[in-house]
């Protein structure tokens, strides 16, 4: 299972009082790892200014075109949160993906 957090060094205008995307990734990784220590979950941070894979390029482009806010949290290719992610929603999506595998 893979969770990718998309963002940039500069915070988005509507996220001025929120943690940076990288801080969000670190916070999310710590919280999820505590709740699901036996789930094999990979956490990745993607800077929208330098995406590496085709999937990263697609989501970065959508963020840059203002289709999504960042930080954008993507679980197995599915958007689960944007802007200020809520843990209960992320946990719900993790459990859904885990139950189908």
Closest by alpha carbon to 3, among 57, 54, 36, 44? Answer: 44
CATH number for the domain spanning 14: value is 3.40.30.30
Taking residues 11-19, what's their average pLDDT? 62
User: For residue 1, what pLDDT is reported?
Assistant: 94
The 10 Å Cβ neighbour count of residue 79 is 14
Structural domain containing residue 73: 2-100
User: For residue 76, what pLDDT is reported?
Assistant: 95
Average pLDDT taken over every residue of the chain: 91
pLDDT band at 72 (very low <50, low <70, confident <90, very high): very high
pLDDT tens profile 23-59 = 999 999 999 999 999 999 999 999 999 999 999 999 9
The CA–CA distances, whole Å, from 73 to 48, 82 equal 13, 6
Number of domains in the chain: 1
| Total-model pTM | 0.90
């Amino acid at each position: 299972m893979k969770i990718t957090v998309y963002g940039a060094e500069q915070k988005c205008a509507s996220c001025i009082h929120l943690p940076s995307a990288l801080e969000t990734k670190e916070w999310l990784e710590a919280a999820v790892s505590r709740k699901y220590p036996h789930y094999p979950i990979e956490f990745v941070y993607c800077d929208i200014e330098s995406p590496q894979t085709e999937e990263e390029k697609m989501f970065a482009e959508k963020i840059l075109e203002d289709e999504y806010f960042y930080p954008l949290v993507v679980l197995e290719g599915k958007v689960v949160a944007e802007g200020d992610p809520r843990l209960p929603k992320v946990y719900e999506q993790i459990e859904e993906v885990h139950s189908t595998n």
